[in-house]
Amino acid sequence: MLLSSLLCACVASGALGASWIAPGAVWYDTDGNKIDAHGGGVVLRGDTYYWVGHASANQTPMMYSSTDLLNWKNLGKQASSVSGMWRPKIAKPNGSFWLFGQQDRYVLSLKSGEFIGGYGTSAKVHIPPDDYSYSDTGMFYDDATETWYLLTSADHNIVQINRINADGTLGDKLSDLRAGAYEAPGIVKADGVYFLIVSGKTGWRANPNKVFWSNSISGPWTGGSDIAPQDQNTYGSQNTFELTVKGSQKTTYIYMGDAWDSKGGASSNYVWVPMNINTGAKTIQLDYHAMWKVDVKTGAVSYPSTLKRYEANHSILSGRTVADEPNEVTFHNVTGTGSLQWLSLHYQVNNPESGEAYVIVNDEPAVNISSLNSRAGYHDSTPVQLKLRSGDVNTITFGFIGEDDHKIAVNALELFEED
């Protein structure tokens, strides 16, 4: 009760105005800190969503809560004595509460008598039937049978699904996927069809994630189709979890991925995208948008409307300053709200990895756009959250540093309606 009233106060104050899901952008919690919950999953309890993932610095499980999937409150470390636990996921078999994650190539389960906090070491989990060491824990709850399933992967390239028993121990293996080198499993169920999403194995670099399907949790799993165009590398992300939002008007399925930095470190971000699930064709396509949100009551997805667009008149910037060619574009009289606000930079680059675009707000130091959004250069709309001065008084300069062959076409700066 106390907690939910605190949450409502936070959301109502809307101090940060974080009103969109922008895949790849830096997301801030309600205290204004970067959200630190990687390789995680989200569960709904009452009318509140809880997101558990690992902290980038020491991989201790962190929990955040939200009633709208937009404004997240940091509920802190969940197992103060535990570190090195990757990809923790919530499970609530019965009576006690559980987190499952990977530690030293074993699955570790943590138990608590309450939902928030107090998770302590339970045991290294021995995975039936063979007790291999596994990693990349995933979690799926099947509400038809009120059963939780642990998904694991890694050794011997087997992705395996085991029931979690009511006492929190790991039960039978239901099925496995032996279709190649896959990891990072998650399951979403739609119209009775189970879809298993997995990533290829390319370290921290993104790859085209795939989907397999079955009419039963017991398999067999078939398919292996792409969930996004191959050249997009799953929009620069790796699967971690699938969330279903059942609204009064429609059900929206959300792919949750991690946009890992080169070391899986602190500058890793999150890529959440609605999924189009075709239960007839047994395919899933990510419905990518640079900014979107879901109304958790109705299930409806919406996108921001443009408030103002400042044209850059198709400015072309090149790698090194060339005579007669500007290396920066400046937008004048940009309208600010006086607090953090979303704006989008529209530009295209010939190679996002051979240069770095930056933005300068008024007289502040230049900020590399890739530090504000992992998708910088990979999509023609790059949303970032910036703090501008209140009124039509801001000067925003866009430029870049890059190699000789680097070309960048700057189209516009876009501001959005406050919703």
Residue 356 found at the interface with ligand NAG (CB under 6 A):
yes
* Structure tokens belonging to residue 240: 């971690």
Q: How far is the CB of 94 from ligand NAG (least distance, A)?
A: 4
Residue 229: which residues within 8 A CB-CB, separation 6 or more?
none
Task: Provide the 10 A C-beta neighbour count for residue 393.
Answer: 13
* One residue of 313, 323, 324, 363 binding ligand NAG per CB under 6 A: 313
Q: Which is nearer to ligand NAG, 157 or 348 (CB)?
A: 348
Length of the chain in residues, anyone? 419
* One residue of 81, 332, 362, 405 binding ligand NAG per CB under 6 A: 332
Q: How far is the CB of 413 from ligand NAG (least distance, A)?
A: 8
Residue 174 found at the interface with ligand NAG (CB under 6 A):
no
Q: How far is the CB of 385 from ligand NAG (least distance, A)?
A: 17
Restricting to residues 47-106, which ones interact with ligand NAG according to CB under 6 A? 94-95
CB 54 within 8 A of CB 86: yes
CB 9 within 8 A of CB 20: no
Q: How far is the CB of 86 from ligand NAG (least distance, A)?
A: 26
DSSP label of 231: G
* Structure tokens belonging to residue 256: 């949750």
Q: Which is nearer to ligand NAG, 168 or 236 (CB)?
A: 168
Residue 164 found at the interface with ligand NAG (CB under 6 A):
no
Q: Which is nearer to ligand NAG, 284 or 396 (CB)?
A: 396
Task: Read off the amino acid at residue 118.
Answer: G
Beta bridge partners of 346: 381, 412
Q: How far is the CB of 339 from ligand NAG (least distance, A)?
A: 20
The residue range among 18-26, 82-90, 191-199, 326-334 that interacts with ligand NAG, by the rule CB under 6 A, is: 326-334
Q: Could you give the C-alpha distances from 265 to 37, 70, 198, 238, 304, in angstroms and in order?
A: 11, 23, 21, 14, 30
Residue 333 found at the interface with ligand NAG (CB under 6 A):
yes
* One residue of 139, 197, 243, 312 binding ligand NAG per CB under 6 A: 312
Half-sphere exposure of 235 (CA within 13 A, CB side): 30
Residue 329 found at the interface with ligand NAG (CB under 6 A):
yes
Q: How far is the CB of 294 from ligand NAG (least distance, A)?
A: 30
Task: Provide the 10 A C-beta neighbour count for residue 417.
Answer: 10
Q: Which is nearer to ligand NAG, 161 or 413 (CB)?
A: 413
Residue 401 found at the interface with ligand NAG (CB under 6 A):
yes
The DSSP H or E segment spanning 7 is helix 2-13
Residue 414 found at the interface with ligand NAG (CB under 6 A):
no
Q: Which is nearer to ligand NAG, 220 or 391 (CB)?
A: 391
The DSSP H or E segment spanning 8 is helix 2-13
Nearest to 189 by CA among 158, 143, 249, 224: 143
Residue 309 found at the interface with ligand NAG (CB under 6 A):
no
- Edge-first strand listing for the sheet containing 283-286: 238-246, 251-259, 269-278, 283-286
Question: Which residues form the interface with ligand NAG (CB under 6 A)?
Answer: 94-95, 166, 311-313, 329, 331-333, 356, 368, 392, 401
